[in-house]
Chains A and B, each alone.
Chain A
Amino acid sequence: MSPLRVFIADDEEPARQRLRELLADLAAELPAEVVGEAGNGVETLERLPGSGAQVLLLDIQMPGMSGLELARHVAGLPDAPAVIFVTAHDRHAVEAFELNALDYLLKPVRAARLVDALRRASGAGAPERARLERVDPRAREFLSVPERNRIVLVPVRDIVYCKAELKYVTLRTRTGEHLSEEPLVTLEREFAERFVRIHRNCLVARAAIRGFERADGEDDETRWLVLLDGVPERLPVSRRQWPVLRDLAAER
């Protein structure tokens, strides 16, 4: 039997060391091989795709992006590994986060628990996104965009606007564009505090709105364009959304 390929993501080096030791101790019972390690979410998404990992041991409290959010991005990878969460939370926090819906281990991890979890996980596949969203309903810090064989993370706070075009949604940042497969409505729902809809096909970051400009349409109706920080595009506001935006402008 070929050894189980395990990837370890934890921001604390001693914690990774401990898991490596435990896996080595378990070699007779369940041969496993550590195929990669990472200290935060971004590193994990860089290194994980080429590693061929079958199981991801994932610390929940990591800097930059929580393990729960990371798992949602990992789930979008082709050949996504199964995920075993590891946490130093106490029981109270475990209940608060409804982690029971997922496979998790408490730190310090016991060898017996680890081997059980690995057995369950091998061949289990990635956790469903819907379940992860239920456990962690907070808005994500990043959107993940599949590009070739990897995942590109776009920080949500860098996005100036999201525009739906045919099959994809264009995520516009100050420096570039990314194509996402997520429907505009789900983005609108998840990031209601950050984005406001200006048109049937477009959300803009509230904080990026610099002002509005009148544009004379062919029909005598007044049309408005929104001016944004950091990008030259002027985006049309639909007649239906104008009252909302006008109120928003008045509040500022």
Chain B
Amino acid sequence: MSNSSIKHNVSRDFLPDFRNSGVIARVLIAVNVMAFGAAIGAEPSWPQAMERLVRAAAVVEPLLIASVVLLYLAAPLLARLAYLRGCVAVLAIELALAAAGDAWAAPAGATAPTSASGLARALLLAALVTIALLGYFRLLVKAYSPALAEARLQALQARIRPHFLFNSLNAVLSLIRRDPRRAERTLEDLADLFRVLMSDGRTFVRLAEEIALLERYADLEQLRLGQRLRISWELDSAPMDALLPPLVLQPLLENAVYHGVEPGTGAGEVVVQIARRGDRVLVRIENPYFGEQQQRAGNHMALENIRERLMLFFDAEARIESRVRDARYEVEIEIPYRAEPAPQPGSTA
């Protein structure tokens, strides 16, 4: 699977991932809030409003659940459409559901005459709610998009610290006479690392590629730090085909070395653990902790940026946490396991 086949262009608009629990939760909450608002707006008193809300719920909730299920099923198809067509398709689904709901509700209320105006009202309401929600998701993506542009900048400015680059170049210089072959390999590693850092950061990569990058990076650090750096890789149950945003793991390993190994005069052990648990991918990176005073600045920026990008790619389904335990600093990431290109953050065919 090549990168280009799963390219997601974030600068354009795209539909939300209807299979994401965060998206589903937002839809459920938003529609219910709107129904609540409509009920208290339409009735002068609380008891009447509550009564209306209960009546409305009998119609709204089945439609809402049907919408969520239908969009969930249609998500892969919708993701293949261009944004505007996708919106039209979603609107069509919702209108069809509203019409079906109206036809189904009419015989139940036998006394109410089935009128053309009733159907028109239902369709209009469904259209308004759908358009409002699509607009909301579009804004949401826009709000998180700057994180991507910033990520690239930060990758160069903050994550690959000048300190690391210059020390690595210095190490290569020291190798050239002693061990020219290793010097060559080291420059190749450095080139690979920078190629990824300068890539656009909007494509999902396979875990195997991200791990290869980690290993190149680790080789570079090993050359500089020698015996002082020990990395334990626990990758036996790592799902190599899992997809994740690029440059999520490398900055974490760099942090671990920078904050956990370099400040120590003795050997420091970094543990990199990647495993699959059911439909989740778990990553844990831990390193020695030297206390708040010895912590060098810049750690929070990297974590914040990774958090924002995980939000953009996985919404509420990703988790990132850090903590200090027994003089060790740990960062844990949990993301949904996906081996296929997912419709988030939206693909353009």
Contacts and interface: CB of A to CB of B under 8 A. Distances in A.
B295 interface: no
Chain A binding site: helix, strand, loop or mixed by DSSP? loop
Interface stretch (A15-23, A72-80, A125-133, A216-224): A15-23
Interface in A190-249: none
Given A14-B174, A108-B173, A39 B265 contact: yes
A63 B262 contact: yes
A88 interface: yes
B263 A63 contact: yes
A18 B262 CA distance: 20
Contacts of B262: 11, 61, 63
Interface in A3-21: 11-15, 17-18, 21
Nearest to A15: B170
Contacts of A63: 262-265
B46 interface: no
B162 interface: yes
Interface stretch (B15-23, B123-131, B219-227, B312-320): B219-227
A160 B304 CA distance: 39
Q: Which interface residue of A21, A42, A63, A90 has the most chain B CB atoms within 10 A?
A: A63
A12 B163 contact: no
B322 interface: no
Contacts of A93: 162
A12 B224 contact: yes
B226 A13 contact: yes
Interface string B145-184: 0000000000000000011001101110111011000000
A13 B223 CA distance: 9
Interface residues of A, number: 22
Interface in B187-229: 223-226, 228
Nearest to B266: A63
B162 A90 contact: yes
Chain B binding site: helix, strand, loop or mixed by DSSP? helix
B206 to A, nearest CB: 33
A134 interface: no
Contacts, number: 62
B224 A14 contact: yes
A18 B265 contact: no
Contacts of A39: 265
A40 B265 contact: yes
Nearest to A13: B226
Given A61-B163, A107-B166, A14 B265 contact: no
A21 B263 contact: no
Q: Which interface residue of A40, A88, A106 has the most chain B CB atoms within 10 A?
A: A88
User: B interface, how many residues as a size bin?
Assistant: 20 to 34
Given A14-B224, A63-B264, A88 B174 contact: no
Q: Which interface residue of B171, B175, B262, B263 has the most chain A CB atoms within 10 A?
A: B171
A14 B264 contact: no
Contacts of A18: 170-171, 173-174
A17 B178 contact: yes
Contact of A42 (B170, B171, B264, B265): B265
Nearest to B166: A88
A15 B174 contact: yes
A12 B225 contact: yes
A228 B266 CA distance: 31
A88 to B, nearest CB: 4
Contacts of A40: 265
A232 to B, nearest CB: 28
A89 interface: yes
Contacts of B228: 11
Contacts of A42: 265
A137 interface: no
A40 B267 CA distance: 13
A64 interface: yes
B175 A14 contact: yes
Interface in A75-125: 88-90, 93, 106-109
A156 B59 CA distance: 72
Nearest to B262: A63
Contact of B171 (A14, A61, A64, A89): A14
A15 B265 contact: no
B170 A88 contact: yes
Contact of B162 (A12, A21, A89, A109): A89
A246 to B, nearest CB: 28
A15 B163 contact: no
Contacts of A106: 166
A21 B171 CA distance: 12
B167 A88 contact: yes
Contact of A14 (B162, B163, B223): B223
Contacts of B226: 12-13
Nearest to A41: B265
Interface of A: 11-15, 17-18, 21, 39-40, 42, 61, 63-64, 88-90, 93, 106-109
- Sorted nearest first, the 9 A-B pairs with minimum C-beta distance are A90-B162, A88-B166, A14-B174, A14-B171, A18-B174, A108-B170, A17-B174, A88-B167, A107-B170
Interface of B: 162-163, 166-167, 169-171, 173-175, 177-178, 223-226, 228, 262-265
9 contacts: A11-B265, A12-B170, A14-B170, A14-B171, A21-B177, A63-B264, A63-B265, A107-B170, A109-B170
Given A17-B178, A42-B265, A109-B170, 4 more contacts: A14-B175, A15-B174, A90-B166, A107-B169
